[in-house]
Structure 1
Amino acid sequence: MKKFIFSFLFVSLLIAQDNKIEQVYYTACDRAGIEIDKPIDFKPFDTGKCGFGLYVEVGRNWDKFSEIQKSNIKKSLERPQLQTSILSPSRRFRIHFDTTGVNEPFLFNDYGKIPKSWKMYVDSVAKYIDSVYNVIVNLIGFEFNFNDDTLGGGSEYDIYIQNLTEGLYGETVFDYSNPLPRSGVAKRFLSFMRIDNSYYESSYYTRGINALKVTLAHEFGHAVQLLSYGLWDEDIWFYEMTSTWLEEAVFDDVNDYYAYIPRFFKATSTPIYFHDGYDLVVLGIFLQARFTHRVIVRAWDNIRNYPPVSALELSLNSFSSSLKREFVEFSLWNYYTGSRARSGYYKEGANYPEVRFETQPIFITSNEATINNSTGALSTQYYMFIWRSDTIVAIISNVNLNSALARSSDEFVFQYHITAGSYSEGYTPLGNGLKTRLKVPDFDNWGSLNILNSQIAFVKTNDVFPNPFYADGIEKILIPVDSGSEDVEMKIFTIGFDLVYSGKFKPEFNFGNYFVSWNGRDNSGEIVKTGVYIYFVRSGNSERLGKFVLIRK
């Protein structure tokens, strides 16, 4: 019976894969206007607002297409033949368009289409694409040294204005089978851009010129990624996340991304690498707020040779942080949205949806409650508990980077216990007689935050985190201080009071508190030995002394 079930599932998987390949083929031809026989019930392959993912799927499945299909797909990748073109004022972009027919660009107002408005629309494209280039390349610092010889009529980057499929904002088209010489491990590609001729239809969340503006930023982001950094075709989420973040970075007033982020806030328990990327724009916004745009640019520098999760980890390391640490902080930021928005987190957080809790509020009876569950890598679950007049929110994140790098669908079990009882060993006090414990076999791959009555109970007055501290020279232990207004003197001693590290630091704001941090290295840069260590911090007239366990990895 088991053998029969396995065979049935295997055959079903093959059929689903074949159907997907056919769907990709039909969609590529349909968007390019290539006449082929399609099923009556044909539904286009869904790539969201942007068609970039379609051409990634074409490339990933190239060897599975028939020769006739390959020939038609090649035709679909050819540049459209439109009536005329102009250069943008910077002369970096050639804009192709028709002045008559179904592709004729137009503006509209409350009364409908504005006749003979194609020139104003085309001029807007020229104006805004130069602005996009200026921000993304000159201000943010991405690289873009484009030259396609005479393709499209000159060496400029080509933009084609067409009447696109309803709801499709634009697409960056490239030929997966024709890569450029590599500058690293990832394959690079030339591309061209197709954008809609009006954004008139109600299927667009943002319409008209504002839709045009964010589309130019989004698609130019993909052009930069393909040309300058390279493609990791299993990790499209990072490409779409970055391009959607660029929309906000260039045109902060448009906010088209509001349409997509509800998907993320409803599914934080899904590993981020299984999201489509549009909804993960908040990750880009978070990283920019924490480290400036340079952390994202540096991640893309790394993408030439490393897939996105590794590239982002390396970038954060260069900013004296790590993906594990920042993902836990990111999970806290995602709690403070909507009615819970507060200063110090997302600037536009009041306009964001609120996270979905895994269960209905859990009422603590018999002085305790327990959650037994599992979650995937780089995902977060939120739980709410009620105890008398207290409300407790538990934020539980898995940060297993090895599983994330493998794009694993594995889930990891955990037990979360909250009690008003007499438990002590391994429990974190929250206040009001409550304490919690997260029980997992690999504590280093988890993060747990607790919020008691809207106040973060992550650490109490004399607590450090994590304790024990697994030192690898990158991860840091956080030592709480009273405020962020003054520099802090910090000293680390062995249990025998031998000084191993000292320095003066500006406090950091993490998890709703001020801390100084230490990466486990002594003053000569070596990771210290496993043992019990004593910390001493002084800020103004305030002094604090405590101890923690360090385990060298």
Structure 2
Amino acid sequence: MNIFMKQLAVTILSLLAFSLPAFAGQLDDYYLSAFGAQPGSALEKAVLLQSTETTEPAHCGTPLKHALQRDWNQLEPATQKVLAKQLALPTLSGTELTYTSTGGYFKIHYTTSGSDAPPLTDANANGIPDWVETVATTMENNRASYISLGYRPAPTVNSAPYNVYLLNLAPLGIYGQTTSTQAVPSTGYANAYASYMEIDNNFLDSIYGSYTPLQSLQITTAHEYQHAIQYGYNLYFDVWYAEATSTWYEDELYDNVNQLYNYLPAWFNNSTLSLDIAVESDATTIGAGYGRWIFNRFLAEQHGVAVVRSAWEKLATLNSPGGINPDIPMVPVLEILLSSTPYNTTLGDDFFGLTKRFYTRDWTSHTSDISRIHTYVPKAIFNSFPITANSLSTTNTLPSITLPHYSYAYYKFVPSSSAPSDLNITVNGTSGIKATAFLTNNSGTILEYPFASVNGTTVSIPNFSSSTEAVLLVANVVNVDGHQASFTTNGSVSGVTEPPNTPASSLTTTSSTSGGGGGGGCFIATAAYGSYLHPQVRVLRDFRDHYLLTNAPGRAFVSLYYRFSPPLADFIVQHDMLRLIVRLLLTPLVYSVAYPVTGGTIMLVSLAGGAIILRRRKAIVARYE
């Protein structure tokens, strides 16, 4: 037996020793791969549960630069040495030339040779490529537009012209990116930073779609200059709202381009992800950040366009919560702003109003473009009645759901031979849930049937059997994860479990889990690994979303985890040795999720060994009794 136990210990330790080096520098690998400094190992791609090579549409590079600066101290010195150039001023492919805009506010950096050269046509023969002059004029127009909207211009060091670099960014899959440089504090803007901008040199590559180079230039510079303004309000901005704001302003400044509507289907197809879901490499696939621009359109329609600027002015007054992730979470900022005068509402009410408008489509601005807004996407479709707690949709989905903070789901009911004349929907939900139902009749008219409460409340929808469809909207309208809702059409009430009242983000926590675009609720893992972008955290987050939250036992475990993990994470993040210990403890779990066969073998062997040890101890105890 002793020989067996020694062999067991050696086997487990060997497997762990094999896995530890692979996981040790994953955050470094993430950034090295993201910036093209190395292709990324096969192990890294497997751990991420999806390849780091992506078919993401062209997007903004600012989130990655912002994240690199935030996580800089978590990287190895060798990694910092390789990536230092990412935070330094760009080097062009040929001799660097400059052109100062006619207003004197912008300096355009360009070259006439190599891959970074812009179109060199010079119709007015003044020695400056026409495209460079167009860039300068567009930047001046953007600056004037933002000032007219009440923004202060992007700050620069010693009030110098703002630097804009023209480079070949198509190989990186981005339109442009803005990088902060140094602090330029002033009264009321203690955390203001200067920055510089990089944009593609010609926008001719196919990744930029069917838009003309001028159109791509317009929306890119409007987007990136808004980021420059944001750095001037507060360095510690929350990336999801920064992208939502910059994307929204593309259409406010250049309404005829309409490229931003392409981001909406990704959110509608992933409606059960939080409003502030982190902007990572799959952002345009899941609608993170970019797709949330329409939230600002709704706020502007409800409260006036100045409400968005007010959010940034509110952010300017706040300091970083500290911790590994110093970014200030925007959800609590919006909650405070919208509850104050002159808005006197709640973020929950506005979020619920937004989700209703996805179905009703009664937008009051940009009305000629309403058809460009993607239609709602149901979480599930039911066409067999009655619906009980155990009924399955056409895609085998049960009539119940657990939602993270500020997320929603639509359920569609289609009349069939088993459909009742009047559809009675009973909804039972926890305290953070709001619900309403809609009926679309055969003439296309939409009628709403709201739920005054969701405590086993029933709403009757008349003439359902002769209608086109009915839908049920359920939404988590608070900053707490894990709120539940269930529904039936036979009057029965399914049980739900109230989650712990732990905010998903806070302005006061020192934990790294609250800021930066929705760390995803993996509090302990984020504290241990130092960033919610760490691949191991992503592994655990994906496992939670794709497996644990899809079944009742898993949801119960997640609810329990949310109950005790936030204060524990705050404690872990303050002790380096404890962070190391937790990483070691999490390694077998992460390995098991990433490699089910090998990891499962380790756990089975460990459990078998534990059982043998327990039986041996019992035998020894029995011998002496």
Confirm or deny a common fold (TM above 0.5). yes
Matched, 1:446 2:408: no
**Per-residue CA shift, 1:271-320, capped at 9, x if unaligned?**
11115211111111221222221111111111122631122222322312
Structure 1 contact 160–195 (Cα < 8 Å) conserved: yes
**Structure-2 separation of matches of 1:135 and 1:47:** 28
TM-score when scaled to structure 1?
0.63
AA in 1 matched with 2:306 = R
Which of these residues, 374, 384, 409, is aligned with residue 353 of structure 1?
374
Q: Decide whether aligned partners of structure 1 residues 466 and 439 sit closer, same or farther in structure 2, where only a CA change above 3 A counts.
A: closer
Q: Report the counterpart of residue 91 of structure 1 in structure 2.
A: 104
Which of these residues, 324, 329, 332, is aligned with residue 356 of structure 2?
332
Gap runs ≥5 in structure 1: 31-35, 109-114, 392-419, 421-431, 469-553
AA in 2 matched with 1:212 = L
**Structure-2 separation of matches of 1:356 and 1:451:** 14
Q: Report the counterpart of residue 471 of structure 1 in structure 2.
A: none
Matched, 1:22 2:13: no
Q: Decide whether aligned partners of structure 1 residues 26 and 382 sit closer, same or farther in structure 2, where only a CA change above 3 A counts.
A: closer
Q: Decide whether aligned partners of structure 1 residues 38 and 329 sit closer, same or farther in structure 2, where only a CA change above 3 A counts.
A: closer
Q: Report the counterpart of residue 291 of structure 2 in structure 1.
A: 279
AA in 2 matched with 1:172 = T
Q: Decide whether aligned partners of structure 1 residues 97 and 350 sit closer, same or farther in structure 2, where only a CA change above 3 A counts.
A: same
Which of these residues, 351, 357, 364, is aligned with residue 385 of structure 2?
364
Q: Report the counterpart of residue 156 of structure 1 in structure 2.
A: 161
Deviation of 1:330 (Å): 0.3
Equivalenced residue count is 395
Q: Which has the higher helix share?
A: 2
Q: Which has the higher strand share?
A: 1
Q: Report the counterpart of residue 446 of structure 2 in structure 1.
A: 455
Deviation of 1:76 (Å): 2.8
Matched, 1:309 2:369: no
Q: Report the counterpart of residue 66 of structure 2 in structure 1.
A: 56
Gap runs ≥5 in structure 2: 1-7, 46-51, 278-286, 319-327, 392-397, 456-625
Question: 2:276 is paired with a residue of what secondary structure?
Answer: helix
Which of these residues, 235, 238, 241, is aligned with residue 241 of structure 2?
238
Matches within 5 A, 1:366-515: 371-387=399-415, 433-442=422-431, 445-453=432-440, 454-459=445-450, 465=452
**Structure-2 separation of matches of 1:39 and 1:434:** 54
Structure 1 contact 262–353 (Cα < 8 Å) conserved: yes
Q: Decide whether aligned partners of structure 1 residues 74 and 390 sit closer, same or farther in structure 2, where only a CA change above 3 A counts.
A: same
Deviation of 1:12 (Å): 7.4
Deviation of 1:64 (Å): 2.7
Q: Decide whether aligned partners of structure 1 residues 79 and 128 sit closer, same or farther in structure 2, where only a CA change above 3 A counts.
A: same
AA in 1 matched with 2:446 = Q
Structure 2 contact 28–76 (Cα < 8 Å) conserved: no
**Per-residue CA shift, 1:44-95, capped at 9, x if unaligned?**
7979511111112212321232223323333332223552111112211111
Q: Report the counterpart of residue 202 of structure 1 in structure 2.
A: 206
Which of these residues, 97, 103, 115, is aligned with residue 102 of structure 1?
115
Q: Decide whether aligned partners of structure 1 residues 333 and 350 sit closer, same or farther in structure 2, where only a CA change above 3 A counts.
A: same
Structure 1 ranges of 4+ moved more than 6 A: 7-14, 44-47, 115-118, 182-186, 366-370
Structure 1 contact 449–456 (Cα < 8 Å) conserved: no
Deviation of 1:180 (Å): 4.7
Deviation of 1:40 (Å): 8.5
Deviation of 1:387 (Å): 4.5
Work out the percentage of aligned pairs sharing the same amino acid.
Answer: 22
**Per-residue CA shift, 1:453-502, capped at 9, x if unaligned?**
3423235xxx9x5699xxxxxxxxxxxxxxxxxxxxxxxxxxxxxxxxxx
Matched, 1:169 2:169: no
**Structure-2 separation of matches of 1:65 and 1:301:** 32
Q: Report the counterpart of residue 406 of structure 1 in structure 2.
A: none
Q: Decide whether aligned partners of structure 1 residues 384 and 18 sit closer, same or farther in structure 2, where only a CA change above 3 A counts.
A: same
Q: Decide whether aligned partners of structure 1 residues 284 and 55 sit closer, same or farther in structure 2, where only a CA change above 3 A counts.
A: same
Structure 1 contact 105–117 (Cα < 8 Å) conserved: no
Question: 2:252 is paired with a residue of what secondary structure?
Answer: helix
Structure 1 contact 25–58 (Cα < 8 Å) conserved: no
Q: Report the counterpart of residue 144 of structure 1 in structure 2.
A: 153
Deviation of 1:254 (Å): 0.5
Q: Report the counterpart of residue 127 of structure 1 in structure 2.
A: 137
Question: 2:164 is paired with a residue of what secondary structure?
Answer: strand
